[in-house]
Structures are given as structure tokens and as C-alpha cells.
């Protein structure tokens, strides 16, 4: 927590957001200028294929409070957010979407709470405009399941939109995992957290980058990143199946030996075989999931590759100017 001279970093991951960035910039200025705190806007271009980078570069030319990093390709929202937190120089940083779904008008209240001692302030969505019953139901299920399975309690209906104090940012940046489920990691880090309810708006322009399959993968990834309970469930189910088979074997033997009953058909045996085969494959997959995580972690590749930032472009420019007289 800092006094009035504080700097606020606004971090915005952008993937093909050419139509949203200009209005986002205007709205951010409208909100930030009356607050009387220094601020920087960090735009992360996550390998966009539209005019996002050009727009971002032009904004930086016009307004030096706009900083940026541009990735060599698309690395995903979580990597882009992580990069933003690494670049942020602020005493607090605010992470928000480029599509104006996270209303910048909430920022003054976040900053007020931060001044009053909160180290993290996140928005909790009251309603989800424009999201169907299926998405709401799956999101509800996802959080219930995740919190059941993992030791880290991750609040439901809380997205990535949040203010984070410098202390928390430093701890977040120090976390070594490759697999970054940002909101989960912030819950894991802890500190004094507060929430503000808000109504999430519809996307300003363009489409969501997430489809059902991506969301399913994200959920699965989040669960396996934060908990080893699925492995325990596998062992437990394995134990139950073994006990049931044992009981079935005893019953069948008794029927044959004591009462001389003919053991009926192959149906039972075949069904059991398929069931066991299926369960084994499923569990093998589950173990594989964790091995995959170990694999990416051990590889130790960087989370993202930055192609250019506002300082490398100016460095490049000054280099060309320096070398001019010698050519
Ligand atoms: N985004 C990104 N990289 C990606 C996908 C999305 O940087 O690979 C950005 C996107 O530009 C937006 C934010 O992450 O600012 C959230 O994405 P989106 O609005 O598509 O997700 P939703 O709001 O539907 O969860
Ligand atoms: Mg969005």
C-alpha cells in the first residue's frame, strides 16, 4: 500500500481486439484521469492477426502512458496476463479484458478499497448478460467441483478482473508453474482479499475467443493443476471395483460348488471385461494428464516469447540512427 504518489498499472491482454481497443482506451481515460493517480496502460498483443499491433503502436506514439509487449505468436490469455504482471511497474495492477466486459467504472471503487487496506479486490459477476443457461450451469458445476476437489478455495463467478497489490504481484510472478490458471493462483497466494459485485456486460465488439471445447479443457486443466484428488478418486474406484469383483467371484463359486448351479452365459464376463477395460483406460488417461503436467514443467520453456515492446522498438530505432553516419 502506498500513498498518493502511487502508480497504477492497467493490464489488458489483447487477441484480435482491433475494434475494441480504441473505445477501451477512451473509457479507461475517462475513469482514470479524474482519480489523480499516475497510471500506465499495458497492452499485451497475444499474436493477433488483425490490426491490433498497429493500433497499439499508434496509441503508444500518441500517449507514452501506453506501454505494450507483442508476442511472437498466440500464447493464450493466461500467458498474456502473466506477461502483463511481469511488466507492470505499478504499486497495484488491474487486470481487465479488452472487450469492455469488465466495466472500467468499477476501478475507482477497487482503488478505494485498496487504499483502505485490501491487497486484492476482485469483481464478482452478479448476472451474466448474454450467456445462456448452459454456460451458467457449467460454470456453476465447475466451481463446485473444483472447490470440492482442491484445497485452494476459488470463489465462484469471479473472473480475472481484479486489482492486485504489489506484494501479491511479486509473489504471483515468483510462482514457477508453466500451467497458469491465473485466478486460481491468486486465490492460492492469499492475502487480504475483497470482492465487489458487478454486472458483467456483453462483449463490446467481436466474438469470445473461447468455445465449449476450450472451456472444457480449461476446466480440466484447472482441476488437475490445483488438486491431486482425481488420482485418489481413481484409486478409490479401483478398490471398489476390485472388491465387487471379489464378491462376485465368491458368489459364483458358491453357486457352483454348493448348489451345483450352471453358471449362466458369457454376458456377465464380457460386460465385466469391457467395464474394467474402460475404467483402466480412463484412469491411465488421468495419470497421463499429471505426467503431461510434469513434462511441461520439466521442459522449463518460457511462458511466452516477446517479439517487441515499446522499449525494444525505441532501442531498435535509436540503434539505426546511431549507425547511420557509419554507413
Ligand atoms: N485473449 C488473449 N489471448 C487469447 C484469448 C483471449 O489475450 O488467446 C484476451 C482477449 O483479447 C480478451 C481476454 O483475453 O481481452 C478475454 O477473452 P474473451 O473475451 O475471448 O473471453 P471471455 O470474456 O469470453 O471469457
Ligand atoms: Mg470477454
In the structure grid, which three cell numbers stand for residue 84, read together?
A: 502483463
| pLDDT score at 3 | 47
Of 156-165, 210-219, 224-233, 313-322, the range with the lowest mean pLDDT is 313-322
| pLDDT score at 163 | 95
* CA 10 to each of CA 14, 132, 171, 295: distance values in angstroms, whole numbers, following the listed order: 13, 30, 18, 33
In terms of pLDDT, which residue wins out, 223 or 51? Answer: 51
Kindly report the backbone phi and psi dihedral angles of residue 79, in degrees, each rounded to the nearest multiple of 5, phi listed first.
Answer: -65, -40
- For ligand 1, is residue 47 a contact (CB within 6 Å)? no
Task: Give yes or no for residue 325 having a pLDDT over 90.
Answer: no
Task: Give yes or no for residue 219 having a pLDDT over 80.
Answer: no
Protein residue with its CA nearest to atom 6 in ligand 1: 77
In terms of pLDDT, which residue wins out, 76 or 248? Answer: 76
- For ligand 1, is residue 74 a contact (CB within 6 Å)? yes
| pLDDT score at 317 | 52
Ligand in closest contact with the CA of 203: 2
Whether 74 contacts 47, CB under 8 Å: yes
Q: Give pTM, 2 decimals.
A: 0.75
Average pLDDT, the chain: 83
| Residue 318 CA to ligand 2 centre (angstroms) | 37
Residue 1: pLDDT band with limits 50, 70, 90: very low
Which atom of ligand 1 is found nearest the CA of 208?
20
Task: Return the percentage of the chain with pLDDT > 70, whole number.
Answer: 87
- For ligand 1, is residue 14 a contact (CB within 6 Å)? yes
Which atom of ligand 1 is found nearest the CA of 17?
11
| pLDDT score at 210 | 65
Question: Ligand 1 pocket: which of 99, 123, 202, 218 to mutate (most atoms <8 Å of CB)?
Answer: 99
Task: Give yes or no for residue 269 having a pLDDT over 70.
Answer: yes
Which atom of ligand 1 is found nearest the CA of 209?
20
| Residue 23 CA to ligand 2 centre (angstroms) | 15
Give the 3-state secondary structure of residue 135: helix
Within the chain, strands assigned E span 7-14, 38-45, 66-71, 92-95, 120-128, 158-165, 193-200, 306-309
Long-range contacts of the stretch 306-314 (C-beta < 8 A, 24+): 306/69, 306/70, 306/71, 306/72, 306/83, 307/70, 307/71, 307/72, 308/69, 308/70, 309/67, 309/68, 309/69, 309/70, 309/87, 310/60, 310/66, 310/67, 310/68, 313/57
In the structure grid, which three cell numbers stand for residue 3, read together?
A: 500513498
| Residue 17 CA to ligand 2 centre (angstroms) | 10
Cα 211 from Cα 209, distance rounded (Å):
7
- When pLDDT is averaged across residues 264-281 and rounded to a whole number, the result is 73
Protein residue with its CA nearest to atom 24 in ligand 1: 208
Q: Which of 138, 141, 136, 142 is nearest to 224 (CA)?
A: 142
Cα 49 from Cα 180, distance rounded (Å):
24
| pLDDT score at 129 | 59
Task: Give yes or no for residue 102 having a pLDDT over 90.
Answer: no
Cα 71 from Cα 13, distance rounded (Å):
11
Question: Ligand 1 pocket: which of 43, 74, 77 to mutate (most atoms <8 Å of CB)?
Answer: 77
Whether 263 contacts 255, CB under 8 Å: yes
Most confident segment among 18-22, 149-153, 179-183, 313-317:
18-22
Ligand in closest contact with the CA of 97: 1
List, for residues 29-71, the tens digit of each pLDDT value.
999 988 888 999 999 999 999 999 999 999 998 998 999 999 9
Most confident segment among 2-6, 67-71, 207-211:
67-71
Q: Helices 182-189 and 212-226: crossing angle, nearest 10°?
A: 30
Ligand in closest contact with the CA of 211: 1
Protein residue with its CA nearest to atom 5 in ligand 1: 77
Residue 270: pLDDT band with limits 50, 70, 90: confident
Amino acid at each position: 500500500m502506498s500513498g498518493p504518489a502511487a502508480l497504477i498499472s492497467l493490464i489488458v491482454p489483447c487477441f484480435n481486439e482491433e475494434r475494441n481497443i480504441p473505445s477501451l482506451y477512451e473509457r479507461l481515460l475517462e475513469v482514470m484521469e479524474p482519480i489523480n493517480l499516475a497510471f500506465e496502460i499495458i497492452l499485451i498483443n497475444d499474436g493477433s492477426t488483425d490490426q491490433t499491433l498497429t493500433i497499439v503502436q499508434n496509441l503508444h506514439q500518441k500517449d507514452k502512458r501506453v506501454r505494450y509487449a507483442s508476442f511472437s505468436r498466440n500464447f493464450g490469455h493466461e500467458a498474456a496476463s502473466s506477461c502483463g504482471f511481469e511488466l507492470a511497474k505499478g504499486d497495484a495492477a488491474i487486470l481487465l479484458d479488452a472487450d469492455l466486459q469488465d466495466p472500467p467504472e468499477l476501478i475507482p471503487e477497487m482503488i478505494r478499497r485498496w487504499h483502505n487496506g485490501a491487497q486484492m479486490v476482485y469483481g464478482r459477476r452478479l448476472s451474466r448478460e448474454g450467456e445462456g443457461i448452459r454456460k451458467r450451469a457449467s460454470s456453476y458445476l465447475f466451481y463446485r467441483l473444483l472447490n470440492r476437489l482442491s484445497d485452494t478455495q476459488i470463489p465462484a463467478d469471479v473472473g480475472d478482473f481484479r486489482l492486485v497489490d504489489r506484494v501479491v504481484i511479486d509473489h504471483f510472478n515468483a510462482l514457477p508453474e508453466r500451467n497458469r490458471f491465473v485466478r486460481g493462483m491468486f486465490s492460492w497466494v492469499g492475502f487480504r482479499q475483497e470482492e465487489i459485485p458487478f454486472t458483467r456486460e456483453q462483449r463490446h465488439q467481436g466474438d469470445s475467443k473461447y468455445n465449449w471445447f476450450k472451456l472444457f479443457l480449461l476446466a480440466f486443466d484447472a482441476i488437475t493443476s490445483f488438486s491431486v484428488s482425481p488420482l485418489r478418486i481413481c484409486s478409490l474406484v479401483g478398490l471398489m471395483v476390485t472388491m465387487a469383483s471379489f464378491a462376485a467371484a465368491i458368489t459364483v463359486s458358491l453357486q457352483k460348488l454348493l448348489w451345483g448351479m450352471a453358471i449362466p452365459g458369457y454376458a456377465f464376463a464380457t460386460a465385466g471385461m469391457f467395464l474394467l477395460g474402460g475404467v483402466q483406460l480412463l484412469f491411465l488417461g488421468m495419470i497421463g494428464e499429471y505426467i503431461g503436467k510434469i513434462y511441461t514443467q520439466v521442459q522449463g520453456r518460457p511462458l511466452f516469447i516477446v517479439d517487441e515492446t515499446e522499449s525494444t522498438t525505441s532501442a531498435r530505432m535509436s540503434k539505426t540512427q546511431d549507425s547511420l553516419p557509419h554507413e
